Amino acid sequence: MTKHGLAGRKAWAVVALAAALAAACGQQGTGTDAAGEAVAAAPITEAADIGLMPRPQSLVLGQGQFVIDAKTPVSASGDAAAVAERFVDYMAMAGLKGLQVTTGDGAGAGIRFELDPEAQDASGEAYTLHASPDGIRISAAAPAGLFRGATTLWQLATVQGRDFQVPAVEIEDAPRFGWRGFMLDSARHFQELDEIKKILDAMALQKLNTFHWHLTDDQGWRIEIKRYPKLVEVGSCRIPAGDGGVDPATGEARPYCGFYTQDQVREIVAYAAERHITVVPELDIPGHATAAIAAYPELGSIDEKLVPLSEWGVFPNLFNTEEETMVFLENVLTEMVELFPGQYVHIGGDEAVKDQWEASARIQVHMREVGASDEMAMQGLMVERLEKFLAGHGKRLIGWDEILEAELPDEATVMSWRGTEGGLEAARKGHDVVMTPSSVLYLDYLQTESPDEPPGRPATNTIDEIYAFEPVPADLEADKHAHILGLQANLWTEHTRFDTRVEHHLFPRLAAVAETGWTPADGKDWQDFRQRLPMQLHRYDLIGIRYAKTPFQVLAVADDDRAAGTAEVSLENPLAYEVRYTTDGSAPTGESPLYQAPVEVTLPAEVKAAAFFDGRPLAEPQAFGFDAASLLSRTDEHLGVCPDAGRLLLRLEDDGPADGERAIFNVTIFYPCWQWNQADLGGIDRVDVRLGRIPYYFQLAHDEPNRKFEPAETANGELTVHGGGCEGTLLAKVPMPAATEADGFVTVAADLPADVAGRQDLCIRVTGDTRPTMWVVDRVDLVPAAP
């Protein structure tokens, strides 16, 4: 049920008398900006200057401050001592080492953690924090609440430039929702334990409390099950597509492997528990089962031998419905429930394409025997059986919203990912719900339009869009609100090979998720959040989080007049922080011109720009060069999507080299097509298109008929260039080569008609169905006629 501690308190109350503010700011510290220069800390004049995230329910500024140093007493007793130890660990991560926890009454000035069994707290996570020049006291009814207070104190002590100075403050706080979650997909790409622990620490410091661990899928089985050793012996390894699956030294197949032993799982569960985070494991059934079926073929629905997949998408491979398979699933869950002491176990249930069941005579016979009217009803019977099994082990079943398509046991919980509609339906039927709509809370979606974004899935989920999400639908009846347990962000890792990319996708967007889950709806304010966000970046730096820089960089677009040799340069920061720039080659500072309108430059020109907050750059300044050649060139990131391309734009990696960074391409996989909108073709003789070729590693299930391609006239297809859009005039058609050059690319020159002129949309495609590979555009150059 939804938890509402400290009911009726005014959200984010701030009292700040002039005398109190003067005292609170009487001792300023120093810090450094993004360029490493020393800067003086601005005085604290309001609560936003502290930068707490998530925003607490109630905060009152007082008079003075308390400075923490290595000699500050830290006291606690009983179960509070463990919380105090975690606080000391976090202070060490922030650079203050030497704090010691002592047990006892904690007399005298210092920091005291206290459990108060008399406190009224329905959530188990409420706390109060009192800081004055005489000391700091945190109290709560339960250890979880005490820990949340410890993370608030850590944030108070880590305001940039204040050298562990904690302002005098009174905070009373509790969460809005009981489920504030994040899901990590370790099946598609594997993360080592240290990376998962780093994520858990960052979650804890933002008061997130649920870690959903996606451990099984078509591409890999990641958890040791002792009764079935082949699950990891076979199911934890796949051969990546293309050059990524070839050992460059030997030419032999190079598997991608990884799994967690049961001892490692216990280590993660214990680490999370120390931070009052519950781990929810996922065993995906009946779909996303290829890796398991590859290990034990008798579990499958067809006779074809399978291997863990190196492709992405939706696949038809399902567990069969037979008794032996259900026993297998129960045996697996028997071992899992011993490893995960939390209340919930996730059983997936999503994207289970039923083609194999429909085509299987034995499954059809079995369905009739058990009284299943159709394939979805059969899946419902599997869910019902597993729900009863889990209930017998003291657990609750949760699954993706597809499980609503059959009769669902009353105690089952629904995770609504295909929008909020599934959650709305589930709540009205009396089921508990976690809201996690892909359109807002999928963090593998890109977060800006920057060409520096790593590979990811279609469209963008920006931090302001995430912050604006409301988990309780406006049209949900009031008596059903308690069924909305909270919200969860998900990171699927098909395109996330490196830990740096994991962290880029998560941060700072996870801070917006955390605040939506913790702070009362009427206490949220985007502009205030945006003001506090730079202080949170400093805290990420302290704990080694490699957060995304793209939201804090500058985007530049030039509208050129080649004939006049000039250009208008437009600058923008995705989060609307102020932009300052220079045109003389120097790095911009807080005193540089403030961008307010497009900047007129004479070619060639260099513009340097950075986004600033409170006089400090939020990321390293960027240099943008403009000359005649650069204005005649567009990389794939700066090309548009063709109107008929279906908008399923992916940012994809090349398949090689086997290690290290790879080229990245923007491509619409249903209809590969690129468009240079309003290209100036005056005086242009030809179009040079640089292309790469990557594996077409997607299975589209029932979406396959939507995959389109233009018919080819020659063996390898043709590069076509149309003017006036894809339905416009054919300007050029050039046969494609059979292969790329040695570097993996090829440049195809397309001569234009002599009379082409003016600005028009150039549509660029390669004809023919080129699977199992696909051509992808890397760059397009307009080549002027020779003088």
Provide the pairing of β-strand 605-613 with 622-626: antiparallel
Instruction: Tell me the residue ranges of DSSP E strands in 448-587.
Output: 457-460, 484-491, 555-561, 566-572, 578-582
**How far is residue 611's CA from residue 425's CA, in Å, rounded to a whole number?**
43
CA max distance for the chain = 90
Helical axes 499-506 vs 509-518, angle rounded to 10°? 50
Nearest of 665, 681, 692 to residue 766 by alpha carbon: 692
Among residues 335, 351, 411, 470, which one is catalytic?
351
- The vertex-596 CA angle with 594 and 597, nearest 5°, equals 130
**How far is residue 38's CA from residue 441's CA, in Å, rounded to a whole number?**
37
**How far is residue 678's CA from residue 675's CA, in Å, rounded to a whole number?**
9
Nearest of 461, 463, 469 to residue 445 by alpha carbon: 461
Sign of CA dihedral 666, 671, 672, 677: negative
- Evaluate whether 556 touches 583 at the Cβ level (below 8 Å): no
Which helix (H) or strand (E) segment holds residue 22: the answer is helix 18-24
Indicate the Cα dihedral angle 581, 582, 587, 592, nearest 10°. -60
Question: Which are the contacts of 677, defined by CB distance < 8 A and separation ≥ 6?
Answer: 640, 761
Question: Which are the contacts of 156, defined by CB distance < 8 A and separation ≥ 6?
Answer: 50, 52, 129, 131, 166, 167, 169
Residue 340 falls in which region: left (phi positive, over 0), alpha (psi -120 to 50) or beta:
beta
**How far is residue 102's CA from residue 97's CA, in Å, rounded to a whole number?**
16
Beta-bridge mates of residue 32: 38
Clarify whether 351 is annotated catalytic. Answer: yes
SS3 48: helix
- Evaluate whether 161 touches 31 at the Cβ level (below 8 Å): yes
Burial of 351 (0-12, 13-18, 19+ CB in 10 A): middle
Centroid of chain to Cα 362: 41
Phi, psi dihedral angles at 621 (to 5 degrees): -60, 150
**Enzyme catalytic residues:** 351
